[in-house]
Amino acid sequence: MAIVVRLDVMMARRKMSLNELSARVGVSVTNLSLLKTGKAKGVRFSTLEAICRALECQPGDLLEHEEDSQ
Amino acid sequence: MSARLLRALVNLLLGLALGFLVVAAAILVGAPLLGEPLLSQWPVLAPQPDPAWQVSVAGIEAAVTLGQGVLSVEHSGYGWHWALRVVDFAISGALLMVGLWLLRRFTGEVGDGLPFSSGSAKRLRWVGLILVAFPLWQALRDLLWHTMLKGELSQQGLALVSPFQSQTSNAFQLQLSVDWGFAVTGLLLLVVAEAFRVGVALREENEEII
């Protein structure tokens, strides 16, 4: 996948657990887990905004583009 | 119409159909035992009225034109007539019951607020296929009957031709008693089922977006 989600890195920096983030953002732990492991197909702007607000970061801190290895 | 009312209606239809099939099965099995004949009917066309039916009265000429009618056949015992009726009963009854059962499941899912599931789309498609298959079976059944009746009744002096044979002056042409409205409804349902399938795919994709 070309877009890599760095949610785990930001959560570790903010010392925030998945349960706490789930409560703050209003997204289920299951869905956050899918997002963290890169299994989600996409993320809504509203979800991204809520996560950025909770983790006090920018979208660029959470998403990263990587070239596909052939 | 609410989903609950629809489900109640389908349940009622299912019950009525089941009752009808039980009574029909009892008649089908019991009539030959009791020596009662079973009646089968097909529409027939007379291509050209017989000249013998025309009458001339002084001043006016009148003609009786027998253009169409009904061929009624009474048959008794457990012969091939009975076997064909049993096969017809089994296939038509099975199509009816399976179709209504699938419709019942579908209306249940709609009532539960889960119409866009892969199961409901599949069920709707099967109901559509059953509706398309039913008139095809009716046509096949009639052609089987026609083939057998032509052989039997021509020996008795009654000239019959099948729906696809050219008409002769003194022969009655058997017609198919097929309701193509079922096929049209079935095709419409197949289109709706395809729309449901696309809806299911969209819902599943939407669920994967967080």
Answer yes or no: is pLDDT of B208 > 60: yes
* Mean pLDDT rounded to a whole number for chain B: 86
Q: Could you read off the pLDDT of A9-54 as tens digits, one per residue?
A: 999 999 999 999 999 999 999 999 999 888 888 899 999 999 999 9
Residue A43 with chain B: CB contacts under 8 Å: 209-210
B209 touching A, CB under 8 A? Answer: yes
Best A7, A28, A41, A48 residue to mutate vs chain B (most B CBs within 10 Å) = A41
Q: Could you read off the pLDDT of B57-84 as tens digits, one per residue?
A: 667 777 666 677 888 888 888 888 889 9
Q: Please give the share of chain B, as a percent, with pLDDT higher than 90.
A: 39
pTM of this structure: 0.74
Query: How many Cβ atoms from other residues are within 10 Å of residue A35's Cβ?
Result: 21
Look at B209 and A43 and tell me if their CB atoms are within 8 Å: yes
B210 touching A, CB under 8 A? Answer: yes
SS3 A66: coil
Q: Which residue of A has its CA nearest to B210?
A: A43
Look at B208 and A43 and tell me if their CB atoms are within 8 Å: no
Answer yes or no: is pLDDT of B53 > 70: no
SS3 B112: coil
Look at B209 and A44 and tell me if their CB atoms are within 8 Å: yes
Q: How far apart are CA B138 and CA B160, in angstroms?
A: 19
β-pairing verdict for B38-45 and B60-63 = unpaired
Q: Which domains does chain A have, with CATH numbers?
A: 2-66 (1.10.260.40)
Residue type, B86: V
Residue B208 with chain A: CB contacts under 8 Å: 34, 40-42
Q: In this predicted structure, what is the pLDDT of residue B49?
A: 61
Q: Are A32 and A21 in contact (CB under 8 A)?
A: yes
Rounded to the nearest angstrom, the minimum Cα separation between B123 and chain A is 28
Q: In this predicted structure, what is the pLDDT of residue B64?
A: 65
A34 touching B, CB under 8 A? Answer: yes
- DSSP characters over B75-105: E-SSSHHHHHHHHHHHHHHHHHHHHHHHHHH
Q: How far apart are CA A45 and CA A25, in angstroms?
A: 13
Rounded to the nearest angstrom, the minimum Cα separation between B141 and chain A is 52
Q: Which residue of B has its CA nearest to A50?
A: B210
Q: Could you read off the pLDDT of B96-119 as tens digits, one per residue?
A: 999 999 999 999 888 888 788 888
Rounded to the nearest angstrom, the minimum Cα separation between A41 and chain B is 5
Rounded to the nearest angstrom, the minimum Cα separation between A32 and chain B is 8
* Separate counts of helices (H) and strands (E) for chain A: 5, 2
Out of A27, A41, A47, name the one closest to residue B205 (CB): A41
- DSSP characters over B9-29: HHHHHHHHHHHHHHHHHHHHH
B206 touching A, CB under 8 A? Answer: no
∠ CA B122-B126-B132, nearest 5°, is 145
Q: Could you read off the pLDDT of B136-188 as tens digits, one per residue?
A: 999 999 999 888 888 887 777 777 888 887 766 667 888 888 899 999 999 99
